[in-house]
Amino acid sequence: MMRLLYFAAFAWAWGALAGQIPPSTEWTLAELIGLNEPSRDPAFAPIPPSHASREGLYLRTSARDAFLEMAAAAERDGIHLVAVSAARNFAYQNGIWNRKWARPQYAGWSDLEKARDILKYSAMPGSSRHHWGTEIDLNSLENDYFTSGEGRAVAAWLEAHAASFGFHLVYTADPQRPGYLPERWHWSYMPLSAPMLAAYNECVELSVLQDLEVAGMAWADSLRILTDFVNGIDAGH
């Protein structure tokens, strides 16, 4: 029954939002909050198996092409870049969020405490940059991987060269940056993600997210989801 209710709500939200064109932007409100399906969207393209950890990883086409160009350059220097996650729509992100929400370790925690802990590394559905098809997680989802051996070489190459292909590390260790903890794997294709963030800020209000009925979303205002998490990226980008 809950699964049916979820998909009914998803269908209603898609129908209500898909046709809305946000002022001054080329993206619909539905796209900005992840109410789309990348595999069926002509604006997206798959990442080939040579540079993906599994099938079914998509990015917006220009971001995908830039990533493949960057990956080819890295190969010439002996560095293999592999996408472990890319575009994630609302349904996918909601699955991640709900699995974490149900963890036994949170028994006895308040909803606010649970949401704050999950938000260390995972976005509330509707507020993730991964919805846009501009973000890619590379090689590992563990920060420790990038501190030694192969991972350290990957990190050093990306820090030296990724910007020339349009990619930037947005969740840095800068203590002045609010929101998510550092993610050394998360790279953003800024030629697209910068204008999409501006569009998101122009079009998405807290009430839009609250209509999505995400677990813990009642605390989104107190948690400063829009100001500290959606906009909590490295100040240099």
* pLDDT for position 24: 54
- Residues 168-197 have pLDDT tens digits of 999 999 999 999 999 999 999 999 999 999
Sequence-ordered list of residues with C-beta below 8 angstroms from that of 56, at least 6 positions apart, any chain: 39, 46
* pLDDT for position 21: 41
Residue 86 · residue 133 · CB < 8 Å: yes
Sequence-ordered list of residues with C-beta below 8 angstroms from that of 12, at least 6 positions apart, any chain: none
Q: Is the pLDDT confidence value at 1 over 90?
A: no
* pLDDT for position 114: 98
Q: Is the pLDDT confidence value at 225 over 50?
A: yes
Spell out the alpha helix ranges (H) of the chain. Answer: 2-17, 29-32, 61-76, 90-101, 111-118, 149-161, 190-203, 206-210, 220-223
Domains and CATH numbers, the chain: 2-230 (3.30.1380.10)
Please give the Cα distance from 32 to 198 (Å, whole number): 11
Instruction: Report which DSSP code applies to 137.
Output: E
More confident position, 3 or 13: 13
Lowest mean pLDDT among 19-23, 64-68, 81-85: 19-23
Q: Is the pLDDT confidence value at 6 over 60?
A: no
Residue 194 · residue 134 · CB < 8 Å: no
Q: Give φ, ψ of 137 to 5 degrees.
A: -100, 125
* pLDDT for position 115: 98
